Chain A
């Protein structure tokens, strides 16, 4: 792999790591009892490739993580527990009518993502990944986030 490819993937790798922690420290109120995996979705194929490699063998609540590339459609989104909309795939998300997605944690990385219906938004500060989070919007989707994560992020209140 060339260094330039590593340069691009490093940011995705870190963000995949954060998503893993959001999964560990989030509480989904209505997850089905018979779930056999925890599903991380993104419409971005290159992100899913990185995430697959970074999160390989990891588990959330004893469920193996499944990394799935999806299309931004109601059917595809229904299978997700956590959804990451990258800057490269935000257009279809914005064009989608964005109904409230119960039990899906919606994470993005573009400006105004939380105003656009997201729950968590990554940003960079001093070369490091940081995030802002809306606990209120998470709650509407039936998810609560541990204070361990909330205190590290910038809390956005509606």
Chain B
């Protein structure tokens, strides 16, 4: 059976297990479910109420899936999400995106921990390798595929990942785990939580990891070890039913070995080299929630993030300060949400051999507001949602992101939704401000004539990729539709989308032919040495220009089946195409025309009371990463051999053998390795 036939079969069959919005008479009265439900009908918008009725392509990774899967980091857990491109570059680097091509340094994806943004305006990406969130204290991870701009702000064009951690009242007691395996020397976690009087609770946690390097590199010996220590804490206060507050903080120190490419000498060529980087990532967040009435609430959140990185060729220090206010209320058939936000970024990035900054932006301010109204056109049947986010940034000024959505419930267990939205991606500071030295171009590649003298024709001219302040924001218009069906034992979630993006930044080659004329004149005069000498002072510019159009379209489909409490399974298929419309003499900056397909199958089986097997199979077929297709199985067996003790054995990347997940080596800086099969053992204690 060909892949397309397999996909068709999956379409005929069927997505994450979405919790259906329950009428009051049909509440799930399981104690764990009740504890997970929000009291407010108007819960803060940065929390999903009912995935079932959400008018966007949402997938919820539950705490059960995260812990049972044996994932040891957030990126690993995200591998389980249909429709997310999660490509491992080596044993510590990742490229993650949705509805587009994932790149290490640009994802157009907004990642948050409890609503605190980790977005770095310098790279427009997330340092996944230093993101520390204890997996055992995650409540759930919500993934929105596609436009998330209205609620979350700019740069959420391709999706939003919100990692929601548990309230500390639910993590009281001692937790400890230790893992070791074929790729991991040791990974150990410790947490202790308790009450603070009658109105509060806390937890403190720490983590130490010592990861091995990969066993096989591409052209180079792998160096991708990890040494990481982190500590964090969270306090929750509940003085009364109207007010609650939380404060949390986390600090992670990492030393990571990596292979790089960069132009670091006079050869003007990309040289591969090995280095290690030291990073310290810290974050603090505080939130105050106020329940004004059963149908109105407000929230004030403030946070600070500091990320410092140090390696031979790069020194950076990034800090951001955020303050958000939101209010949600219900008046008869109208739900109204509004909010204000302000973000201050401080960016210090020392010039290096291969990155220079034009300067001018050491700090960035962003501020704005949002308003969203949801109106019940027909009670319990048809809702209309309209909203707009308007904000101002220092690079491109005022931006607006409107949306309109319709949610139709023909029957209680079915939802059909459609949306039209505009989203904006503000250029990263690298695109706006910086110049990179990239792999040199040969004279014969750019000059209109060749000389026949190898020293000249094959000379690599210094080549720059220039960001500049004429780069515009990218504007996308997305058309999305979805259908969900939830039956007693199975559920279907289907979404399709088409997105047109204008003003896409691409690279224009500017060989500046005139600069070769004096060199040709010297050659004609027989001054070969002078000509070679003159070449050393020439350069070619690759300029970022905002003149391309990009079309992305595709579909995600997930079928969930739970015939028994002790068994559930999920099948998913995702399809995505990425298609540039380029002007002459330009080529894409991120990704290239490509088609990606994924098949997911998961099973979670409980047996003999103490045993659980979790299996996740993914088939990745894409020409976006210059790799072969691969099929990988992650299989975890958990055995609760004592009431407080669990042992687990986790096999990862089984069947895939030693495979490459990311092969786009044309990108400056990034160097990947083979990803190996691995086996890990883990012991967990909970008291």
Contact = CB atoms under 8 A, between A and B. Distances in A.
B668 interface: no
B376 A3 contact: yes
A149 interface: yes
A154 B244 contact: no
A4 B332 contact: yes
Given A14-B34, A125-B167, 12 more contacts: A2-B332, A7-B42, A10-B24, A14-B37, A17-B29, A21-B31, A54-B27, A111-B240, A125-B169, A127-B38, A129-B34, A154-B195
Given A3-B295, A7-B294, A21-B34, A127 B195 contact: no
B646 interface: no
A20 interface: yes
B330 A126 contact: no
Contacts of A20: 29
Contacts of A123: 238, 240-241
B165 to A, nearest CB: 11
Nearest to B293: A7
17 contacts: A8-B294, A9-B24, A17-B27, A17-B34, A55-B29, A124-B244, A125-B236, A125-B244, A127-B39, A127-B44, A127-B47, A127-B289, A128-B38, A129-B37, A130-B35, A154-B195, A154-B198
A33 to B, nearest CB: 27
Interface residues of A, number: 39
Contacts of A124: 39, 238, 241, 244, 291
Interface string B295-334: 1010000000000000000000000000000000011110
A156 B35 contact: no
A85 B170 CA distance: 25
B39 A54 contact: no
Interface string A118-145: 0000011111111010000000000000
B36 interface: yes
A126 B289 contact: yes
Nearest to B42: A7
A93 interface: no
Contacts of A3: 41, 295, 330, 332-333, 335, 376
Nearest to A112: B198
A11 interface: yes
Contacts of A111: 240
A4 B40 CA distance: 11
B295 A126 contact: no
A56 B24 CA distance: 11
Contact of B330 (A7, A17, A55): A7
B157 interface: no
A65 to B, nearest CB: 11
A58 interface: yes
Interface residues of B, number: 41
B290 to A, nearest CB: 11
A34 to B, nearest CB: 27
Contacts of A54: 24-25, 27, 29
A53 B25 contact: yes
A54 B27 CA distance: 7
Interface in B207-259: 236, 238, 240-241, 244, 246
Interface in B70-91: none
Interface in A1-47: 2-4, 6-11, 13-14, 17-18, 20-21, 25
A50 interface: yes
Contacts of A129: 34-35, 37, 39
A87 B47 CA distance: 27
Contacts of A109: 241
Interface of B: 24-25, 27, 29, 31, 34-44, 47, 167, 169-170, 173, 195, 198, 201, 236, 238, 240-241, 244, 246, 289, 291, 294-295, 297, 330-333, 335, 376
Q: Could you say which of A53, A128, A152 has the most chain B C-beta atoms within 10 Å of its C-beta?
A: A128
Given A21-B34, A124-B244, A7 B198 contact: no
A13 B41 contact: no
Given A3-B41, A13-B24, A50-B24, A128 B36 contact: yes
A54 B39 CA distance: 15
A115 B284 CA distance: 36
Contacts, number: 114
B39 to A, nearest CB: 5
Contacts of B335: 3
B333 to A, nearest CB: 6
List the 9 closest pairs (A to B, CB-CB), nearest first.
A7-B295, A7-B41, A125-B238, A124-B241, A13-B24, A7-B294, A17-B29, A17-B34, A126-B167
Contacts of B31: 18, 21, 25, 148-149, 152
B330 A18 contact: no
A14 B27 contact: yes
A11 B198 contact: no
Contacts of A130: 35, 169, 238
Contacts of A55: 29
A13 B27 contact: yes
Contact of A7 (B35, B40, B195, B376): B40
Contacts of A7: 40-42, 294-295, 330
Given A7-B330, A10-B24, A54-B24, A156 B294 contact: no
B35 A8 contact: no
Given A6-B41, A126-B246, A18 B238 contact: no
A110 to B, nearest CB: 9
A13 B36 CA distance: 14
Nearest to B34: A17
Contacts of B332: 2-4
Contacts of A58: 29
Nearest to B240: A111
Nearest to B24: A13
A56 B36 contact: no
A53 B27 CA distance: 10
Contacts of B244: 124-127
Contacts of A126: 167, 236, 238, 244, 246, 289
B29 A21 contact: yes
Given A10-B39, A11-B39, A18 B24 contact: no
Q: Could you say which of B24, B25, B35 has the most chain A C-beta atoms within 10 Å of its C-beta?
A: B24
A13 B282 CA distance: 40
B139 to A, nearest CB: 10
A2 B246 CA distance: 32
Q: Could you say which of B36, B198, B289 has the most chain A C-beta atoms within 10 Å of its C-beta?
A: B198
Contacts of B38: 127-128
Contacts of A2: 332-333
Nearest to B47: A127
A125 B241 CA distance: 7
A103 B128 CA distance: 55
Nearest to B33: A17
Given A53-B24, A127-B38, A4 B330 contact: yes
Contacts of A127: 38-40, 43-44, 47, 244, 289, 291, 297
B24 A154 contact: no
Q: Could you say which of A13, A125, A129 has the most chain B C-beta atoms within 10 Å of its C-beta?
A: A125
B37 to A, nearest CB: 6
Contacts of B289: 126-127
Given A3-B376, A127-B289, A156 B198 contact: yes
Nearest to A109: B241
